[in-house]
């Protein structure tokens, strides 16, 4: 009967943004440096434009300076690379983010490789991902969405060490780094993807599930071990004539069913979503501190 604790990502993200605001002003007052984040947006996808707008607003709200370059859909890869290298060389920029997806005529790998790893606040540079995967190595940055998932577990004092964790999805931006992070935190990790047979048999063993699939309500109550902790990254529009826009957003996990079985669960919206941007701001602050050797 809805026994699960609701993990309030919105509230945690607000708290983190408040902490960042204080650090940004302390840095400005002590050494006169304002952390800066540069965003490169190529093309005119509406969702990408919304994400970029939200990131800029979030920067403003904590006192981080934001820089933006918008390039046309039909611009060349060289033009994008030129913007990247301009920001790599710009001392007032501490974080560089290339909004994905890029238009299909561009080589995404080539462009992500060009971002200076010292400014790779998205954590998508292969060197940062490689270090994340290797024992005894430290990435300079960890991708924001999976980092936000782990941060939620930490802030709710949910133990990860020794637990069985299942990640559903293996994308470069969420599922794969989430699995690596859980492993670094000493969980025993299984990964489910589109070719996995009988995923419910695997999820039923999980103490912690992070789901990043993009399928509305795929994970049913019967897939979940009683008392499990559920982190739902999915953001899926489903038709809803009663909603103002004609649709509403749901996660990958069937909240109605799952919240009766789990011990804790993130809602959609208001769970992982707000944490992603908070982690981006946090990575930008960390970068500025590291570049200027400010503690």
Active site residues: 55, 99, 122
Nearer Cβ to ligand NDP (168/254) = 168
Nearer Cβ to ligand NDP (139/177) = 177
Q: What are phi and psi of 12, to 5 degrees?
A: -65, -45
For residue 130, give every residue at least 6 positions away whose Cβ sits within 8 Å of its Cβ, in sequence order, or none: 137
CA angle 121, 285, 87 (to 5 degrees): 50
Nearer Cβ to ligand NDP (88/172) = 172
Nearer Cβ to ligand NDP (135/197) = 197
Q: How far is the CB of 244 from ligand NDP (least distance, A)?
A: 20
For residue 218, give every residue at least 6 positions away whose Cβ sits within 8 Å of its Cβ, in sequence order, or none: 168, 211, 252, 253, 254
On whether the CB atoms of residues 17 and 61 are closer than 8 A, the answer is yes
- The torsion of the CA quartet 83, 47, 59, 149, rounded to 10 degrees, works out to -110
Q: How far is the CB of 236 from ligand NDP (least distance, A)?
A: 5
Residue where the block lists tokens 């490789």: 113
Residues near ligand NDP, by CB under 6 A: 145, 168-171, 173-175, 192-196, 199, 212-215, 233-236, 272-273, 276
Q: Which residue is nearest to ligand NDP (CB)?
A: 171
Closest CA to 280 of 70, 99, 79, 92: 99
Nearer Cβ to ligand NDP (27/175) = 175
What is the Cα–Cα distance from 51 to 43, expressed in whole angstroms?
Answer: 13
**According to DSSP H, which parts of the chain are helical?**
9-31, 46-62, 77-89, 108-114, 126-133, 144-155, 175-184, 199-203, 255-261, 272-291
């Amino acid at each position: 009967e809805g026994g699960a604790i609701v993990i309030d990502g919105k509230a945690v993200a607000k708290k983190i943004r408040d902490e960042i605001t204080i650090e940004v002003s302390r840095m400005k007052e002590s050494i006169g440096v304002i952390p800066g984040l540069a965003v490169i947006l190529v093309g005119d996808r509406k969702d990408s434009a919304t994400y970029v707008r939200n990131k800029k607003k979030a920067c403003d709200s904590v006192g981080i300076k934001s820089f933006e370059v918008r390039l046309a859909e039909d611009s060349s890869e060289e033009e994008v690379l030129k913007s990247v290298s301009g920001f790599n060389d710009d001392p007032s920029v501490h974080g560089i983010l290339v909004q994905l997806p890029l238009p299909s005529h561009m080589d995404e790998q080539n462009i992500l490789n060009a971002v200076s790893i010292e400014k790779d606040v998205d954590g998508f540079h292969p060197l940062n991902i490689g270090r994340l995967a290797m024992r005894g190595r430290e990435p300079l940055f960890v991708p924001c969405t999976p980092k936000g998932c782990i941060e939620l577990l930490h802030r709710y004092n949910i133990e990860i060490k020794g637990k069985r964790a299942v990640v559903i999805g293996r994308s470069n931006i969420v599922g794969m780094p989430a699995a690596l992070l859980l492993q670094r935190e000493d969980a025993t990790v299984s990964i489910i993807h589109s070719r996995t047979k009988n995923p419910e048999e695997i999820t039923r063993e999980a103490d912690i599930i992070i789901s990043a699939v993009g399928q509305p309500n795929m994970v049913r109550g019967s897939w979940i071990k009683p008392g499990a902790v559920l982190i739902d990254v999915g953001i899926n529009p489903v038709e809803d004539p009663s909603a103002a826009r004609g649709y509403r957003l749901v996660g990958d996990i069937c909240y109605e069913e799952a919240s009766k079985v789990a011990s804790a669960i993130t809602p959609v919206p208001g769970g992982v979503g707000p944490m992603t941007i908070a982690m981006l701001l946090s990575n930008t602050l960390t970068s500025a501190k590291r570049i200027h050797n400010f503690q």
